[in-house]
């Protein structure tokens, strides 16, 4: 992590965001206190048999932040830096993300402290199944529905679904989302985050009077979300992607890049650098390019008070979680840059996860065209609500998004009351 956020505990940032928005929407102090505390958190220490036959103890977490609007929803990440405060903050952000998209969910998050890059597939399976059995009392289609996150994928979800189903004695596909299609996954889930981001950009450009056809685009981070949004924005909106980067560095060509060829190059070499006909560019310089649309799709805290004044893009669409610090937000707002905040711009993934859960519960599956059309409708509706709210209060889009999200959760708490 770099920039202002480095000194800040992620959960302290999450709580600060609630305080900021509480003033805007005149939130009752008691409800503000409820919203600053996770409802339930579980820490588990569990043994896993390693490939050499020895046992190693791992620590994992599942935090259920708020359930006022429905079952919890949120990913599980495997990473050496996972901490309880990080998981708490991510669970809070999932609460707001589900609420701003008006999904009938609360927010949760999970994580295991481990380095999956150093583990065999067999070890990862044993770790996943053991972790799933430890958190099994807290998860389920009506209670808490995990999904993939950093260094977990559809295979991880298949193992969790199977472990949970074995304990129940029957198949429960709705216990997780982001599963393989063969066992109850949804069409369109793989590209949902990037596609949702593309729809949000299109709506923001419309509102601003910016033509997306021919608009120049830079994408920082060429992983799942970044590569999909780069592909779709060029093919479906006719925009010109002039720069992309990954963790090793980036490439730039002012005439535009052929994204399909860049993907093939990355698949072959493991990086985007060295792509024929493009010059090298650093991740830092990519952010400062004179483009119409900038898509940070990599790590948090990339746009800080140090470089915010050098951002020239008219629209910044946060495909990553937390790429802009609060200090940078103020600078961008002053400079009339439209920021599409992460809880809106990258919420396509959780929206299609919701569609997957609905299909699992009904046992009735939709064609990809239907999934994409429904995603488009939800993104357009949510963008309009956020932009209208930001305008109404004279605040930036992030505060507008939080105002909607926090207000919806607060309303649910108020209506339900405190029991017993």
User: What token pair was written down for 206?
Assistant: 């419309």
To the nearest 10 degrees (0 to 180), the angle between helices 348-362 and 84-100 is 80
Per the listing, tokens 């949902």 go with 192
Is the separation of the CB atoms in 309 and 335 below 8 Å? yes
Is the separation of the CB atoms in 283 and 296 below 8 Å? no
Q: Using omega within 30 degrees of 0 as the cis cutoff, is the peptide bond preceding 282 cis?
A: no
To the query of whether residue 288 is one of the catalytic residues in this protein, the response is no
Is the separation of the CB atoms in 87 and 109 below 8 Å? yes
- For the chain, count helices (H), then strands (E): 14, 12
What is the DSSP pairing of strand 216-220 with strand 249-252?
A: unpaired
User: What token pair was written down for 373?
Assistant: 């059309």
Helical H runs in 191-258? 192-208, 224-235
Q: Which of 109, 179, 240, 266 is flagged as catalytic?
A: 109
Phi, psi at 342, each rounded to 5°: -55, -40
Could you give the residue numbers annotated as active site? 109
């Amino acid at each position: 992590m770099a920039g202002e956020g480095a000194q800040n505990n992620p959960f302290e940032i999450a709580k600060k965001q609630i305080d900021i928005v509480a003033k805007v929407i005149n939130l009752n102090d008691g409800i503000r206190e409820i919203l600053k505390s996770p409802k339930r958190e579980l820490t588990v220490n569990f043994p896993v048999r390693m490939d050499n036959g020895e046992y190693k103890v791992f620590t994992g977490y599942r935090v259920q932040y708020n359930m006022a609007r429905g079952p919890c929803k949120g990913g599980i990440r495997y990473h050496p830096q996972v901490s309880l405060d990080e998981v708490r903050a991510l669970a809070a952000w999932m609460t707001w993300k589900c609420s701003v998209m008006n999904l009938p969910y609360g927010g949760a998050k999970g994580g295991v402290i481990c380095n999956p890059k150093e583990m065999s597939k067999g070890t990862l399976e044993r770790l996943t199944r053991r972790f799933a059995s430890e958190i099994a009392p807290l998860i389920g289609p009506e209670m808490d529905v995990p999904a993939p996150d950093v260094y977990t994928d559809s295979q991880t979800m298949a193992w969790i679904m199977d472990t949970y189903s074995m304990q129940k004695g029957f198949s429960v596909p709705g216990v997780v989302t982001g599963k393989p299609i063969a066992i109850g996954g949804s069409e369109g889930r793989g590209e949902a985050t990037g596609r949702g981001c593309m729809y949000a950009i299109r709506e923001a450009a419309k509102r601003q009077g910016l033509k997306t056809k021919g608009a120049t685009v830079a994408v920082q981070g060429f992983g799942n979300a970044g590569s999909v949004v780069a592909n779709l924005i060029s093919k479906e909106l006719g925009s010109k992607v002039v720069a992309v980067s990954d963790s090793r560095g980036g490439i730039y060509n002012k005439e535009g890049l052929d994204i399909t060829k860049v993907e093939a190059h990355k698949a072959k070499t493991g990086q985007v650098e060295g792509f024929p006909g493009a010059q090298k560019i650093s991740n830092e310089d990519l952010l400062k390019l004179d483009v119409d649309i900038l898509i940070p799709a990599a790590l948090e805290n990339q746009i800080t008070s140090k470089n915010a004044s050098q951002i020239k893009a008219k629209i910044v669409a946060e495909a990553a979680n937390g790429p802009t610090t609060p200090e940078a937000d103020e600078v961008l707002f002053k400079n009339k840059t439209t920021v599409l905040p992460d809880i809106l711009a990258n919420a396509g993934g959780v929206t299609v996860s919701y569609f997957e859960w609905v299909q699992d519960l009904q046992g009735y599956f939709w064609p990809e065209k239907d999934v994409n059309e429904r995603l488009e409708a939800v993104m357009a509706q949510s963008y309009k609500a956020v932009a209208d709210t930001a305008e109404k209060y004279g605040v930036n889009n992030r505060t507008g998004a939080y105002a909607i999200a926090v207000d919806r959760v607060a309303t649910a708490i108020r209506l339900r009351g405190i029991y017993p």
